[in-house]
A and B are shown apart, each in its own frame.
Chain A
Amino acid sequence: MSDLASVMSWLGIFVVCTPLLLVVVLGISSLLKWQLDEQTITRSVQAAIISGLAAAVAILVLMLIDGTRHVVINMGAWVEIPYYHFSIKFVFDRLSVPMAILSFLLTGTIGAFAARYMHREPGYNRFFVLYALFTLGMVVTSLADTIETLFVGWELVGLSSALLVAYYQERPAPARNGLWVWIVYRISDAALLLAAVVLHHMAGEGDFDRLLGTGPWPDGRASLSEVQALVVGLLFLVAAAGKSGLVPFSGWLPRAMEGPTPSSAIFYGALSIHLGAFLLLRISPILECSVILCVVVVVLGLLTAVLAYLVGSVQTDIKAALSYACLSQVGLIVAEIGLGFRYLALVHLLGNACLRTLQFMRAPTLLHDYHTLENAIGDHLPRPTVPMKRLASARIRSWFYRFALERAYLDWWLTDRIVAPFVWLFQRLDALERRWTDFLSGQASRESDQMKPYSQIEELS
């Protein structure tokens, strides 16, 4: 290995290890009850993010100097038994480097913002533990060169997101919404796990260069048949749809606004919501193998974009409006991926992430900004005209308004058509089990039936 390659390899390891170290420091101190003060936490975050970012930028510079476009860092087999191995490999290429730099840049910005925004919040430490977990998840997902490594990062992002949505846990609503987000993410995780395992079977291992061809991104050619690509691609699409809030999973997006503004900014404005699109970019050689799959991706992207535009138009809360604006762009990015415009999609993704982060961070001071502008021009700001007013009758507009207000009835459909029948069925089965055990024991068999939902909570001395 040349000196330059060796330096890049060490820098690559450093890029992954910095957020890992941050998780270890903040996580272990929490587990062992060593309460770190705000300043120590902030400095640890700054040190980890700045050094990780510097290492990622250094790799980019070295790659540009050297003309290399594909640097693989193999950390060896994590698990190896006959007929199965699980490698930890990271790749620095045209897709992963911009994504990793974006992750560090935006998490760093938001970390600095959060240090002030969350100042003296009782859950300051908890916020930054979850923030560190999220950053690690993003960096691992961005740089993963095996499907299993990507899955690890994907899960970390999911868990930290759900817990951050439920950050203000003294109220039940954030907890309910956190659970909603988690349920969607678990569906997405299950789809990704299955896709990973199916791909592992087809190629014998989970390395992307085996799965997607050996060429550097985006020149790889997957050696899958059309049917194989369609099956695996659809699983990936479900995973991406869950993570990016595409139709029909868009309902978690406004619910996720319950979290603190810094977490909203990184999840729904900047990074997390783009992960689905990133995944589709990463597996784009598989998309190329099946025309049907590409059509499905384009249709899903456009449908999401249109719905997000409609729903976003009627939002009265700035964070919700911004998140839908972001989602409509994500829908377009997905459509671009389906059409094969990979670089365009990547640039669109990076731009959208930066713009939305800025907007989200300005959101808490929006009214102040408006007042400043209005004071400066000495009048109210002009209100944009609604094109629908000229194009459609009042009845149609009213229908669209209702449709948008109800978020295209997607939540209703998921709740009433899937969750409610599921709960009803298993509650009936539970009742049946009660009758059966009552019959067997010849008396009321469940002590838990005597319990009241809340009043029985009392400390035992």
Chain B
Amino acid sequence: MNLLQLPWLEWAILLALVGALGVSRIRNPFRASAWGLAFTGTIFGFTVLAWLGHYFGFKPSERWSLQDYYFGGRFFNLDELSAPLVPMVALLHFLTALATARTKMRRFSFSWSLASEAIRLATFSCHDPWLLIGLLSLCTVPPYIELRNRSKPTRVYVLHMGLFVALLVLGWSLTESVGSQGAQPAWAVVPLLAAILVRCGAIPVHCWLTDWFEHASFGNALLFVTPLPGVYAAARLVLPIAPDWVLHSLGMVSLLTAVYAACMATIQQDLRRFFAYLFLSFSSLVLVGLELVTSISLAGALSLWFSVTLGLGGFGLTLRALEARFGRLSLADFHGLYDNSPALAVCFLVTGLASVGFPGTLGFVATELLVDGAVEANLTLGIAVALAAALNGIAVLRAYFRLFAGKRHAATISLRIGLRERIAVLTLTALLLGGGLFPQLGISSRHQAAQEILKDRQENLRRAERDRSPGGLAARAD
């Protein structure tokens, strides 16, 4: 048997759970950090093997599979969409653990991070709708506990996530009650659509996201949002069954959010809020591409998903490193931090520009594809997408100047970037630049995933047409 045929994916999920339990028993934060790092690193290795197995066409063997042994079937599997997403999520967890500064080790819970990683890996490899809904709901619990543990206000978060879970359950129950697997009637799909909008932070239900960034630790805030689970839910639950008008509505709301958030990012006075709006704008752009449902726009959206997660992940880790040295930072004035930490300034600029799709980075071709798909649908749409991208670029450079330009900050200790942080940010930078300079592999993989999504959707719509025809209705009545 080939090494790649082992069920690495489920072992990764299991290891994350075991790690969470094990690390929770360690009281010393530095030891917990070391163990957390070891677990997240190993989990990342496992997920890479799982991805390689999928890439080379090896099916995981039933012999070593716990899922097959206990449940007689597979709930967690990789397909074209999820195969690269799973190692990406694991990488983000690993690098976040790696880049956790010693000053933050007491506040960053490695055990909860591992538990969240297990849920996230399971979510991104799950296809069964009800299980996915369960996992998406479960995913909202650790952040709540984090807010409670930090004695922060939880009501905004609880209200929005409660609404998300309720709408998700209601929506899927309604679609199941209709019975048909194809395009669903409006009353069944609208709650599902609303749930996605809440989770993705579309306006006017976006305030939970900025509130979350205000109160959570930066590391956990990043891990909760940057893998874009809301977009994954949209791709799995809404895209295959939603009628065109629902997708267009979702696209319009997302586009409005993308532009609104980009505008808000340019005027923010607080670094975290700036990041939250920047993230919101990009995650909405991914949704815009998803809802245009053409192969180009879908490939663009799926590629941008990668770019957003890695780019904003790296950007977020740089901001976190800055916070670890200087505390919460305001953008109301110039701070002159360049001379204190020039490497952080460079990383800030590279990851920030990568996240806005600067040429030579992973997001460049993705943005091109997305704008191309948008223009194909409507020129105004294309203009709005280009406007959002331009505004985000302005917001990033404004933040850069506010943080790193100005009268030099007189430091009493060395504030240079640490080795672990440097490795974490440079790894993401290398991926962003590597993916940008050699984009063919990534783009063709995302195009293939887009084709699969479109094929599924078309089959579902055809089936619905058949069901709605007189013959189909009679057959169902029988």
**Which positions in A face B, CB cutoff 8 Å?**
30-33, 77-84, 86, 122, 148, 151-152, 155-156, 159, 162, 166, 169-172, 174-176, 178-179, 182-183, 186-187, 189-190, 193-194, 197-198, 200-201, 422-423, 426-427, 429-430, 433, 436-437, 440-443, 445-448, 451-454, 456-461
**17 A–B contacts from the bound complex (CB under 8 Å):** A81-B443, A82-B447, A86-B365, A169-B401, A171-B406, A182-B394, A183-B394, A190-B389, A194-B375, A197-B375, A201-B372, A430-B264, A440-B156, A454-B333, A457-B326, A459-B411, A459-B415
Asked if B177 is at the interface of the complex by the 8 Å CB criterion, the answer is no
Extra 20 A-B pairs, beta carbons < 8 Å, given A84-B296, A169-B406, A445-B211: A31-B426, A80-B440, A81-B296, A170-B405, A176-B401, A194-B386, A197-B372, A197-B386, A198-B382, A201-B372, A426-B267, A430-B267, A436-B207, A448-B330, A453-B332, A456-B327, A456-B328, A459-B326, A460-B327, A461-B413
Q: Is the CB of B401 within 8 A of A166?
A: yes
Which chain B positions have C-beta within 8 A of A151? Answer: 359
Q: Is the CB of A83 within 8 A of B408?
A: no
Contact of B371 among A31, A193, A436, A458 (CB under 8 A): A193
Which chain B positions have C-beta within 8 A of A178? Answer: 397, 401, 405
Asked if B404 is at the interface of the complex by the 8 Å CB criterion, the answer is yes
Which chain A positions have C-beta within 8 A of B360? Answer: 152
B321-340 contacts to A (CB < 8 Å): 324-330, 332-336, 338-339
Contact of B153 among A77, A82, A443 (CB under 8 A): A443
Given A170-B406, A458-B327, decide whether A155 and B358 contact each other with a Cβ distance below 8 A.
yes
Write the nearest CB–CB distance from B471 to chain A, whole angstroms.
Answer: 35
Which chain B positions have C-beta within 8 A of A459? Answer: 325-326, 411-413, 415
Q: How far is the CA of A83 from the CA of B373 in the complex (A)?
A: 11
Which chain A residue has the least Cβ–Cβ distance from B260?
A429
Which chain A positions have C-beta within 8 A of B447? Answer: 81-82
Asked if B272 is at the interface of the complex by the 8 Å CB criterion, the answer is yes
Which chain A residue has the least Cβ–Cβ distance from B429?
A31
Q: How far is the CA of A451 from the CA of B328 in the complex (A)?
A: 8
Which chain A positions have C-beta within 8 A of B269? Answer: 448, 453
Contact of B330 among A172, A183, A426, A454 (CB under 8 A): A454
Given A79-B440, A170-B336, A457-B335, decide whether A190 and B153 contact each other with a Cβ distance below 8 A.
no
Q: How far is the CA of A78 from the CA of B444 in the complex (A)?
A: 11
Which chain A positions have C-beta within 8 A of B391? Answer: 186
Which chain B residue has the least Cβ–Cβ distance from A456?
B327
Asked if B138 is at the interface of the complex by the 8 Å CB criterion, the answer is no
Contact of B211 among A169, A423, A437 (CB under 8 A): A437
Prevailing SS type, chain A contact patch:
helix
Which chain B positions have C-beta within 8 A of A460? Answer: 103, 324-327
Asked if B17 is at the interface of the complex by the 8 Å CB criterion, the answer is no
Q: How far is the CA of A12 from the CA of B464 in the complex (A)?
A: 57
Q: Is the CB of A194 within 8 A of B382?
A: yes
Q: How far is the CA of A86 from the CA of B324 in the complex (A)?
A: 41
Q: How far is the CA of A458 from the CA of B389 in the complex (A)?
A: 33
Asked if B141 is at the interface of the complex by the 8 Å CB criterion, the answer is no
Write the nearest CB–CB distance from B162 to chain A, whole angstroms.
Answer: 12
Q: How far is the CA of A447 from the CA of B323 in the complex (A)?
A: 14
Write the nearest CB–CB distance from A141 to chain B, whole angstroms.
Answer: 11
List 7 A-B pairs, minimum CB-CB distance, nearest first.
A175-B405, A448-B270, A453-B332, A169-B405, A190-B390, A152-B359, A175-B401
Asked if B34 is at the interface of the complex by the 8 Å CB criterion, the answer is no
**Which positions in B face A, CB cutoff 8 Å?**
103, 153, 155-156, 159, 207, 210-211, 214-215, 263-264, 266-270, 272-273, 295-296, 299, 324-330, 332-336, 338-339, 343, 346, 350, 353, 358-360, 364-365, 368-369, 371-372, 375-376, 379, 382-383, 386-387, 389-391, 393-394, 397-398, 401-402, 404-409, 411-413, 415, 426, 429, 439-440, 443-444, 447
Which chain A positions have C-beta within 8 A of B365? Answer: 78-79, 86
Contact of B369 among A84, A122, A461 (CB under 8 A): A84
Which chain A positions have C-beta within 8 A of B334? Answer: 172, 175
Q: Is the CB of A83 within 8 A of B296?
A: yes
Given A437-B156, A447-B215, A458-B326, decide whether A201 and B440 contact each other with a Cβ distance below 8 A.
no
Q: How far is the CA of A78 from the CA of B372 in the complex (A)?
A: 16
Q: Is the CB of B409 within 8 A of A190?
A: no
Which chain A positions have C-beta within 8 A of B263? Answer: 422, 426
Contact of A174 among B335, B358, B405 (CB under 8 A): B405
Given A84-B372, A169-B405, decide whether A187 and B390 contact each other with a Cβ distance below 8 A.
yes
Which chain B residue has the least Cβ–Cβ distance from A436?
B207
Q: Is the CB of B375 within 8 A of A201?
A: yes
Contact of B156 among A122, A441, A447 (CB under 8 A): A441
Given A426-B264, A454-B333, decide whether A81 and B299 contact each other with a Cβ distance below 8 A.
yes
Q: Is the CB of A179 within 8 A of B401?
A: yes
Which chain A positions have C-beta within 8 A of B335? Answer: 454, 457
Q: How far is the CA of A459 from the CA of B272 in the complex (A)?
A: 18
Q: Is the CB of A78 within 8 A of B156?
A: no
Contact of A186 among B346, B359, B390 (CB under 8 A): B390
Which chain B positions have C-beta within 8 A of A193? Answer: 368, 371, 386, 389
Which chain B positions have C-beta within 8 A of A446? Answer: 214, 270
Q: Is the CB of A86 within 8 A of B359?
A: no
Q: Is the CB of A172 within 8 A of B397?
A: no
Write the nearest CB–CB distance from A239 to chain B, whole angstroms.
Answer: 11
Which chain B residue has the least Cβ–Cβ distance from A444?
B153
Given A170-B407, A186-B394, A441-B155, decide whether A148 and B207 contact each other with a Cβ distance below 8 A.
no
Q: Is the CB of B409 within 8 A of A457?
A: yes
Which chain B positions have C-beta within 8 A of A174? Answer: 405
Write the nearest CB–CB distance from B370 to chain A, whole angstroms.
Answer: 10
Q: How far is the CA of A186 from the CA of B358 in the complex (A)?
A: 11
Write the nearest CB–CB distance from A172 to chain B, whole angstroms.
Answer: 5
Q: Is the CB of A437 within 8 A of B207?
A: yes
Q: How far is the CA of A454 from the CA of B429 in the complex (A)?
A: 30
Write the nearest CB–CB distance from A35 to chain B, whole angstroms.
Answer: 10
Which chain B residue has the least Cβ–Cβ distance from A461?
B413
Which chain A positions have C-beta within 8 A of B429? Answer: 31
Which chain B residue has the least Cβ–Cβ distance from A200?
B372
Q: Is the CB of A442 within 8 A of B359?
A: no
Q: Is the CB of B103 within 8 A of A170?
A: no
Which chain A positions have C-beta within 8 A of B383? Answer: 194
Which chain B residue has the least Cβ–Cβ distance from A424?
B267
Q: Is the CB of B330 within 8 A of A456?
A: yes
Which chain B positions have C-beta within 8 A of A32? Answer: 426
Q: How far is the CA of A176 from the CA of B397 in the complex (A)?
A: 11
Q: Is the CB of B353 within 8 A of A159?
A: yes
Contact of A156 among B296, B346, B359 (CB under 8 A): B359
Which chain B positions have C-beta within 8 A of A458? Answer: 326-327
Which chain B positions have C-beta within 8 A of A436? Answer: 207
Write the nearest CB–CB distance from B475 to chain A, whole angstroms.
Answer: 36
Which chain A positions have C-beta within 8 A of B426? Answer: 31-32
Q: How far is the CA of A460 from the CA of B106 in the complex (A)?
A: 14
Q: Is the CB of A79 within 8 A of B386?
A: no
- A77, A162, A186, A429 interface centre (most CB from chain B within 10 Å): A186
Which chain B residue has the least Cβ–Cβ distance from A447?
B214
Given A201-B375, A459-B413, A461-B413, decide whether A448 and B272 contact each other with a Cβ distance below 8 A.
yes
Which chain B positions have C-beta within 8 A of A78? Answer: 365, 439-440
Which chain A residue has the least Cβ–Cβ distance from B265?
A426
Q: How far is the CA of A135 from the CA of B365 in the complex (A)?
A: 22
Which chain A residue has the least Cβ–Cβ distance from B369?
A84
Q: How far is the CA of A197 from the CA of B381 in the complex (A)?
A: 12
Which chain B positions have C-beta within 8 A of A440? Answer: 155-156, 159, 207
